[in-house]
């Protein structure tokens, strides 16, 4: 990849006109991207002092600022990271019709931490896998992902860093990391080369950075070509790719026995005991910086709210939050559908309870036609990958399907209808959804079968008796957190060190 690339080190002539023409062409594209609702992510990686910043400056010089953004995510020391590896990038993805330029990103972060021994070989491999998953997911949902590596030779790097360091106004820009890279140029070269080889599913483009204008011309050509192609073609909508995840077998919903119940006395006793323990565990979680993600899905009126309140009650409010998930807002609809969940993740050591989740994709969005069939069929795999990124990070991910039968739902709907204080809880939409119970049951069954992975399993919670349901949920949470505090959860649950 990188090693085969020949640095020409010759300056082409007559570039000024060529660049002007490309610039004019480039300036017309954003409007078309907007019309076609195409988002563009331009990742610019490369050597220190290769000119990434100036390249971006030239690329945006004629663009209307309404259409682009530039970010250079800071690479945080691993021990200060409070979010998953890809979090800084996944939360930054552009919305439809916008171009996001990233001045170095996931490649630089992964390679640098690996060479600095901040992460293990196994973790490095996991990150390479995550990068492939992330890029593919973006491409599959219509993102134009342009990946550029700006290449210069060691000699060139040396003379540039020297010039920077010796000038009084720019000396501060040369960091010890830059000097380390120069010193270890060939180790970095090997590592970049390997990383690019392994993440070439969404293609890398190596550009010669020796001459600024040549690099600008080449990058502009590339962008015009890639964006132009995407504008001309039908919006890309996904590969048939499917990985086999280690799954936990799940019963069909129709086979679940909903009779389990609990006596009031037993309930009170157990509730108190479990809540006390959960409170203690929250303390330990916090100190051990273990992230916890609790996902609630279930039938309308199944008792999600009351269940969540019983789990939340013993928790320190400073260390958890509940994220109620409603229909996506316009700025959320304009991005890949997992974006609004990436941005709601807990910091390590915190608990987030999702009251409805990303599984909306394969339930309501599937049934109401809010996404295409390709979209929701692809989503099982995307969700499994997303959740594996979370458990790779060390998160405890538990998913609860709060389950009742149609008769119980009817009784509760009727009760809500007849009780003035509860009437706001019941809407026409609830009644409409109820009519689609059979279709939903098919979708939920498929979801449970395909996404109950060993690392992020589903639990069916029998909730005809709400009290029984609360105790069962609490027991599962307490048990999982006990294991997590003992270091038995997450990475060891389904995925061995590769």
Name the residues that contact a copy of itself, by CB under 8 A. 28, 31, 53, 56-57, 60-62, 64-66, 69-70, 72, 101, 103, 169-170, 172, 280, 283, 287, 305, 308-309, 312-313, 315-318, 321-322, 324, 326, 329-331, 353, 355, 421, 424
Task: Decide: 457 and 379 in contact? Cβ < 8 Å.
Answer: no
CA distance 175 to 165: 9
Task: Give whichever of 322 and 476 is closer to a copy of itself, judged by the CB atom.
Answer: 322
- How many C-beta atoms lie closer than 10 Å to residue 301's C-beta? 23
Alpha-carbon torsion (95, 98, 104, 106), positive or negative: positive
User: For a copy of itself, which is the closer residue by CB, 398 or 443?
Assistant: 398
> Rounded to whole angstroms, how far apart are CA atoms 321 and 75?
27
Nearer to a copy of itself, 222 or 312 (CB): 312
In whole angstroms, give the CA distance from residue 484 to residue 395. Answer: 9
What is the spatial distance between Cα 267 and Cα 41, in angstroms, rounded to a whole number? 53
Q: How far is the CB of 450 from a copy of itself (least distance, A)?
A: 28
Both ends of the chain: CA-CA distance in Å?
24
CB 403 within 8 A of CB 302: yes
Work out whether the CA dihedral 112, 115, 119, 124 comes out positive or negative.
Answer: positive
- Nearest-approach distance from CB 356 to a copy of itself, in angstroms: 10
Based on CB atoms, which residue is closest to a copy of itself, 478 or 490? 478
Closer by beta carbon to a copy of itself, 56 or else 250: 56
Q: Name the residue among 307, 295, 338, 345 with its Cα closest to residue 453.
A: 295
Report in angstroms how near the CB of residue 104 gets to a copy of itself at its nearest.
10
User: Angle 373-392/121-140 helices, nearest 10 degrees?
Assistant: 160
Q: Which is nearer to a copy of itself, 70 or 237 (CB)?
A: 70
Nearer to a copy of itself by Cβ, of 15 and 261: the residue is: 15
172 CB-near residues (< 8 Å, 6+ apart): none
Question: Which H/E stretch holds residue 118?
Answer: none
Q: Which is nearer to a copy of itself, 74 or 240 (CB)?
A: 74
DSSP per residue, 229-262: HHHHSPPP----------B-----GGG-------
Q: How far apart are CA 323 and CA 301, in angstroms?
A: 18
Cβ distance to a copy of itself smaller for residue 255 or 421: 421
Rounded CA separation 459/325 (Å): 20
Shortest Cβ 157–a copy of itself spacing (Å): 19
CA geometry: angle at 108 spanning 497 and 57, to 5°? 155
- Structure tokens of 250? 């799940």
Nearer to a copy of itself, 46 or 457 (CB): 46
């Amino acid at each position: 990849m990188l090693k085969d690339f020949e640095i020409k080190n010759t300056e082409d002539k007559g570039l000024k006109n060529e660049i002007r023409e490309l610039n004019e062409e480039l300036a017309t594209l954003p409007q078309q991207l907007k019309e076609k609702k195409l988002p563009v992510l331009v990742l610019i990686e490369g050597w220190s002092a290769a000119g990434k910043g100036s390249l971006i400056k030239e690329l945006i010089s004629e663009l209307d600022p309404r259409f682009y953004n530039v970010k250079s995510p800071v690479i945080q020391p691993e021990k200060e990271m409070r979010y998953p590896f890809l979090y800084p990038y996944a939360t930054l993805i552009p919305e439809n019709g916008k171009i996001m330029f990233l001045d170095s990103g996931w490649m630089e972060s992964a390679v640098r931490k690996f060479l600095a021994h901040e992460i293990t070989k196994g973790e490095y491999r996991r990150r390479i896998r995550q990068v492939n998953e992330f890029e593919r997911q973006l491409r599959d949902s219509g993102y134009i992902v342009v990946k550029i590596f700006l290449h210069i030779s060691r000699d060139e790097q040396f003379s540039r860093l020297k010039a920077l360091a010796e000038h009084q106004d720019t000396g501060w820009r040369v960091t010890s990391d830059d000097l380390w890279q120069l010193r270890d140029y060939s180790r970095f070269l090997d590592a970049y080369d390997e990383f690019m080889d392994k993440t070439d599913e969404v293609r890398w483009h190596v550009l010669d950075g020796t001459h600024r204008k040549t690099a600008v011309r080449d990058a502009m050509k590339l962008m015009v070509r890639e964006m132009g192609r995407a504008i001309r073609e039908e919006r890309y909508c996904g590969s048939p790719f499917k990985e086999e995840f280690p799954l936990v077998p799940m019963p069909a919903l129709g086979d679940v026995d909903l009779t389990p119940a609990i006596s009031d006395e037993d309930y009170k006793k157990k509730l108190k005991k479990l809540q006390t323990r959960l409170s203690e565990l929250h303390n330990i979680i916090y100190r051990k910086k273990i992230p916890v993600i609790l996902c609630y899905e279930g039938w309308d009126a199944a008792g999600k709210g009351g269940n969540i309140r019983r789990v939340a009650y013993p928790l320190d409010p400073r260390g958890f939050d509940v994220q109620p998930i409603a229909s996506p807002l316009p700025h959320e609809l304009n991005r890949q559908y997992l974006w609004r969940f990436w941005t709601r993740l807990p910091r390590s050591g915190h608990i987030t309870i999702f009251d409805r989740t990303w599984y909306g994709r394969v339930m309501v969005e599937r049934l109401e036609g809010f996404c295409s069939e390709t979209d929701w069929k692809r989503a099982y795999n995307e969700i499994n990958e997303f959740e594996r990124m979370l458990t790779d990070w060390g998160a405890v991910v538990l998913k609860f399907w709060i389950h009742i039968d149609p008769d119980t739902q009817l009784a509760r709907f009727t009760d809500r209808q007849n009780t003035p204080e509860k009437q706001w809880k019941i809407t026409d939409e609830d009644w409409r959804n109820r009519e689609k119970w059979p279709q939903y049951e098919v979708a939920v069954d498929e979801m449970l079968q395909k996404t109950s992975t060993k690392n992020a399993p589903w639990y069916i919670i029998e909730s005809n008796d709400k009290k029984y349901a609360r105790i069962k949920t609490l027991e599962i949470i307490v048990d999982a957190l006990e294991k997590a505090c003992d270091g038995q959860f997450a990475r060891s649950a389904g995925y061995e060190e590769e």
